[in-house]
Amino acid sequence: MTTADELVTLVRSYNPRTNEKLLREAYGFGQQMHDGQARRSGEPYFTHPVAVSVLLAEQQMDDATLVTALLHDTIEDTKASYGEIERRFGHEIAELVDGVTKLTNLQLDSTKTQQAENFRKLFMATSRDLRVTLVKLADRLHNMRTIKSMSPEKQIQKARETMDIYAPLAGRMGMQWMREELEDLAFRVLNSEARNSIIRRFITLQRESGDVIQKITADMRIELEKAKISAEVMGRAKKPYSIWRKMQEKDQGFSRLSDIYGFRIITATEADCYRVLGAIHQRWRAVPGRFKDYISQPKSNGYRSIHTTVSGRDGKRVEVQIRTREMHEVAETGVAAHWSYRNGERVENRFAVDPVHWIASLSERLDDGHDHDEFLEAVKLEMYQDQVFCFTPKGDVIKLPRGATPIDFAYAIHTRIGSACVGARIDGMRVPLWTRLKNGQSVDIITADGQTPQATWIDIAVTGRAKTAIRRALREEDRERFIKLGAELARVAFENVGKKATDKAMRTAAKTLALDSADELLARLGSAELTGRQVVRAIYPDLAELPGEEVDETHAVIGLEGGASFTRAACCQPVPGERIVGITFRGQGVIVHAIDCENLTDYEDQPERWVDLRWQEGTHRPVNTVTLDLTISNDAGVLGRICTLIGEQSANISDLNFLDRKPDFYRLLVDVDLRDAEHLHRVMKAVEAESNVSSLMRYRNPKRATQQVAAH
């Protein structure tokens, strides 16, 4: 364990003006409070707060943050109180410790409604003082580094929580090194076999081809010397999880994956960055479509760098990142750059962007929202989605998640613009409102007085801001009508199980579903945001499935005209419960696609062929085939158990196709006949829980669309 003297020495190395007395007092107080407590590994518990403070000191953080790290578990796990912390160490540190305590108490792996509220609290705490989140991230990093002492069940829970929430949050804060390490530590728990396999292949590759990184680094230095450019060159192999993710995304094996090495070139000036780019491209052939200039168009978290991929030594593709020293500091430490010290002074980095503004903006947009699903949807869009940058006619930049439409663009400008939208022009050409925006496009929103949001916009919009505004407008406009309709739907739903939809029952259901009133519940029931089944189960969770009228599969889709026939698209395999759209084919009827199918981009310039569709309400028969992509361990009986699991969920396997057979694992495609999206979810959850399943995903193949049309 790092001693108090060693910690003070570390802090004084970058902040000679540190309050040494404060650090020593916090160290002693924390050690006293945790005296007698032990971690699961058997080590004294205080080793953990000390390790967290060292992690933050390595990021050159201020004294208040380091003291908070030393005390961050005292209120939660010892007899120390908020008042005592405040008396000894001041109001600022007491507030920081209390903020970390509240984040620690969040049950981030609980139900969807609770998770949404946890996100809301997380961002509220973060918006008050960003250092709370920095301490919590360092706390999680040390816990993940020492996770082996936990039970297997706890390891999996913490690893999933880390992969889903903390790693993306670190990335959003610009702390890429922490994101990569958190992902890799979680990957080690969740899929150790895949991780070990990648590491073994790296070792084999290095044995066969030598130290490729050292060779390419030397080649780059020679080229820079020829061009008389002073720069630092660094190379590294990418993390196992990063490689695994690329293998999954590109559907390629390790041997076919090219850019597994990354190189960084650090220059003195911005002008040198572009000179380095020229030297690299003169020496090696650039890979088309793999160039990005984040210096001229920085990311929203302040990240600046030039990215290019070239065919290097022996034809191996390598990714090269080029940036200045200031840019590199922001790229490595992200938000921590706001609090870092050097020689006793706060470091001012002109490229650092404070994510507090992003968090405050998110909080403003959702300050009056009560819909947990909407909030969670908006947060995930803000945190996890890649962005596209589009321009207003005046040249202002609007940032949106990938897949956004003109509806999202309009609401991003102003709610009033979004609500009055009747059309859009992209680069001067009139387009449908469901058109997906692309980087660099200029978007002109057409508005009209008297226009109000349409119900179909919910399926078109992507951003949480647009969806929230549309739902709010629709609820306000039709609230009374929806309440009356909801009351009738509730009466029928309750009668189906021999109960009565009394006023008290509605109030109880509303409270269970975290809604303000019975009227709010009925309005959502009437507007189809809730189903009668959900309302009944809010009060009577043990009741059996409510009976539903079986859907005639020949009329499973609503919105077709003139008795037109329909076929489910083979590329995306939509199932009831998912949002859908139809594309007409002369002599072939309508092919139904999932709204997020990438093949829809092929028809963006043919709006006359699009048909607005939805699935028929009721119980569908299990005739909708979905292909699952499975990687399983090559052990006796594993495939049989998986087939049994699928059968236990009342699903039928219609085909099996092995893609890859290795000594340690199989990869195969399984065609399963299902009723709807809920049925699919149950099947995937059951299979995913099997310990011998290393990966499971829904298989979608854009090439199937071409084959399907040709077959017709």
Measured distance CA(130)–CA(100) in Å, rounded: 11
Task: Return the CATH number at 650.
Answer: 3.30.70.260
Per-residue pLDDT for 254 more than 60? no
Q: Which of 462, 709, 459 lies closest to 603, judged by CA?
A: 709
pLDDT at residue 249 in the model: 57
Residues 556 and 517 in one domain: no
User: CA triplet 220, 224, 229: central angle to 5 degrees?
Assistant: 150
Q: Give 165's DSSP letter.
A: I
266-320 pLDDT per residue, tens: 999 999 999 999 999 988 888 877 788 888 888 766 788 999 988 866 666 788 9
Asked whether residue 362 carries a pLDDT value surpassing 50, the answer given is yes
- The pLDDT of 427-442, averaged and rounded, is 85
Same domain assignment for residues 598 and 505: no
Of the residues 515, 539, 563, the one at which a domain ends: 539
The per-residue pLDDT for 33 is 93
**544 pLDDT above the threshold of 50:** no
Together in a domain, 177 and 225: no
Structure tokens at 522: 């009925």
Residue 341 lies in a domain: no
Q: What is the pLDDT of residue 72?
A: 92
User: Where residue 370 falls among pLDDT bands split at 50, 70, 90?
Assistant: very low
417 in Cβ contact with 445 (< 8 Å): yes
pLDDT tops 80 at residue 486: yes
Total number of domains constituting the chain: 4
Statement: residue 355 has pLDDT above 80: no
Give the Cα separation of 126 and 132 in Å (integer): 6
Domain containing residue 269: 193-336
Report yes or no on 523 lying in a domain. Answer: yes
- Same domain for 606 and 669? yes
Measure CA 341 to chain center.
32
pLDDT at 143: 93
pLDDT of residue 111: 43
Contact 392, 413 (CB under 8 A): yes
Instruction: Dump pLDDT digits (tens) for 606-641.
Output: 888 888 888 887 778 888 999 999 998 888 888 888
**Which tokens go with 620?**
């569908």
For residue 368, being part of any structural domain is answered with: no
Indicate if the pLDDT at residue 40 is higher than 90: no
Tell me how far apart the alpha carbons of residues 442 and 392 are, in angstroms, rounded to a whole number.
6
Highest averaged pLDDT of the listed ranges 357-366, 441-450, 557-566? 441-450
pTM of the predicted protein model = 0.53
pLDDT of 653 > 70? The answer is yes
The answer to which of 379-393, 634-648, 676-690 has the lowest mean pLDDT is 379-393
Burial (CB count <10 Å: 0-12, 13-18, 19+), residue 703: exposed
Give the integer Cα–Cα distance in Å for 191 and 247.
Answer: 14
On whether the CB atoms of residues 513 and 538 are closer than 8 A, the answer is yes
Q: Is 92 a catalytic residue?
A: no
Residue 218's identity, in one-letter code, is A
Please identify which of the residues 76, 84, 180, 671 carries the catalytic annotation: 76
pLDDT of residue 160: 86
How far is residue 295's CA from residue 275's CA, in Å, rounded to a whole number?
Answer: 14
Find the DSSP H helices in 79-191: 82-89, 91-104, 112-128, 131-145, 152-161, 167-172, 176-190
Domain assignment present for 97: yes
Checking 118-127 for CB contacts under 8 A at 24+ apart, the result is 119/375, 119/376, 119/379, 120/366, 120/375, 123/359, 123/362, 123/363, 123/379, 124/363, 125/99, 126/356, 126/359, 127/356, 127/359, 127/360, 127/363
Residue at a domain's end among 336, 352, 370: 336
Instruction: Supply the pLDDT for residue 682.
Output: 81
Give the pLDDT confidence of 314-339 residue by residue, as tens digits: 666 788 999 998 888 887 776 666 55
CA–CA distance, 82 with 87 (Å, rounded to integer): 9
More confident residue, 525 or 548: 525
* C-alpha distances in Å from residue 319, one per residue of 176, 251, 333, 493: 16, 19, 21, 58
Are 156 and 273 in a shared domain?
Answer: no
77 is catalytic: yes
- Between CA 361 and CA 383 the distance in angstroms is 13
Q: What is the mean pLDDT of the chain?
A: 81
DSSP β-bridge partners for residue 335: none
Q: Are residues 603 and 685 in the same domain?
A: yes
CATH of the domain at 268: 3.30.460.10
Q: Decide if pLDDT at 86 tops 90.
A: yes
Q: What is the mean pLDDT of residues 481-506?
A: 84
Domain boundary among 171, 189, 207: 189
Q: Which of 25, 43, 77, 164 is catalytic?
A: 77
Same domain, 160 and 26: yes
Q: Each residue of 203-241: pLDDT tens digit? A: 777 676 667 788 889 999 999 999 999 999 998 877 888
The percent of residues in the chain predicted with pLDDT above 90, rounded, is 27
Residues 93 and 224 in one domain: no
Instruction: List the single range of 210-224, 361-375, 398-412, 598-612 with lowest mean pLDDT.
Output: 361-375
Q: What value does the mean pLDDT take over residues 517-532?
A: 82
Q: Indicate the pairing of strand 397-401 with strand 429-431.
A: unpaired
Query: How is 486-498 classified by DSSP, letter by letter?
Result: HHHHHHHHHHTTT
- Three-class SS of residue 693? strand
pLDDT at 572: 92
In a domain, 202, yes or no: yes
Q: Is 441 within the bounds of a domain?
A: no
Answer yes or no: do 511 and 574 share one domain.
no
In terms of domains, do 166 and 58 share one?
yes
Q: What is the pLDDT of residues 654-674, one digit of tens each?
A: 888 888 887 778 889 999 999
Which one is predicted more confidently, 200 or 230? Answer: 230
Which of 13-17, 396-400, 475-479 is most confident?
13-17
Q: Do residues 588 and 517 share a domain?
A: no
pLDDT of residue 109: 46
* 507 and 535 part of one domain: yes
| 3-class secondary-structure state, position 703 | helix
pLDDT at 605 over 50: yes
Q: Is residue 616 included in any domain, yes or no?
A: yes
Q: What is the mean pLDDT of residues 162-185?
A: 83
The H or E element that residue 234 is part of is: strand 231-237
Average pLDDT over residues 126-148: 86
Q: What is the pLDDT of residue 345?
A: 59
**Residue 588 domain-assigned?**
yes
Judge whether residue 542 has pLDDT over 90: no
Beta strand 652-661 pairing with 580-585: unpaired
**Amino acid identity, position 296:** S
Residue environment code for 594-609, b if the CB has 16+ CB neighbours within 10 A, otherwise e:
bbebebbeeeeeeeee
Mean pLDDT of 404-431: 91
Q: What is the chain's Cα-based Rg?
A: 28
Kindly tell me if the per-residue pLDDT of 381 is higher than 60. Answer: no
